[in-house]
Amino acid sequence: MDKYRDFLGLGIAGNFALHLAQAGEEEDFKEIITADEASPKGMFPFYLPKHVKEAKTILNTYPLSSSIIKLPLQNVNVQAEPEVTLICNLEYSSDKLLKITPTHFGAYNDCSIRVAGASKISDKKNWGKNSKGISENLIQIDKFSDGGIMDNYSICSFLKRDGELHAYGEDVELKGYSYFYEKLQEWMVNQISTQKDFGPLEPLDEYISTCKNPTKAIISIGATRYTPYGESTFLKDGDEVFVVLYNNRVLSLQNVMDSIKDNNYDLSNISLLKQKVLA
């Protein structure tokens, strides 16, 4: 899972209704003013492919894995964050980001430390190798707009603990994201270009320029809502995390659950991320 080492790694905070409240992070964004109530709160870096003096050094550590999550050494609470990730092409004009074009999508785990008082969102996002998750089987995007393949997909997630499978995140259609398709593309370009070093946010355009304007990026577009079990359950050694994007025109949620229990997957209609949690 080293193929994204030259990619820029970014995430979006607050792009699904109620998630920030469930994660106990609303207070972090109390000073952030957005264009409208449904707007995401901002973007954060989780991986920088080149050294950026102004950013924390840990962001140069490649965190992605398709098979394991390694818990931090310190005794802190960690939650999985089931998300959709986009593999994107980035285009620039006069050293400024001009366009973001998603080419593939897939299951993603924006695994996060739950700690009060972190100065930046990114402080909770990358604590070393194997602290993030991305599916090995991504799905090609025909068009990132209404009528495209992503219209047909839903996301669900589960935690297996002591042999029992628990719903961790809600089962929701991808179109349930607050900002999606063209609206999301436009927002991301503007946010990256204008976001300042303020509160929990960081100056992404400066970071990107220092990284010599990468032409490829992994962008996770926001965590979905937890089930009551997911909201109150932190990861521990031996757990297994499953994040599944599935074609809801072909498969049902029960089909997905049966596939997990049988360890037998229809990879033509899903993007699967399965990670073992290690202390």
| Joined tokens for residue 110 | 């924006």
Given a cut of 90, is residue 210 above it in pLDDT?
Answer: yes
Q: What is the pLDDT of residue 31?
A: 61
- Cβ neighbours around 148 below 10 Å, total: 12
Span 261-267, average pLDDT: 95
Given a cut of 80, is residue 21 above it in pLDDT?
Answer: no
Given a cut of 60, is residue 23 above it in pLDDT?
Answer: no
Helix (H, G, I), strand (E, B) or coil at 266: coil
Domain 8-151+174-228 has CATH 2.40.170: no
Domain extents in the chain: 8-151+174-228
**Partners of 159 in the beta sheet?**
166, 241
5-19, 54-68, 254-268: least confidently modelled range = 5-19
Span 76-101, average pLDDT: 97
pLDDT-derived band of residue 118, with 50, 70 and 90 as boundaries?
confident
Helix (H, G, I), strand (E, B) or coil at 104: strand
Span 36-50, average pLDDT: 91
Given a cut of 60, is residue 207 above it in pLDDT?
Answer: yes
SS (H, E, C) 24-90: CCHHHHCCCCCCCCCCCCEEEEEECCCCCCCCCHHHHCCCEECCEEECCCCCCEEECCEEEEEEEEE
pLDDT in tens, 138-166: 999 999 999 999 999 999 999 999 999 99
Q: What is the pLDDT of residue 25?
A: 65
Q: Output the CA torsion 18→183→272→255 (10° steps).
A: 70
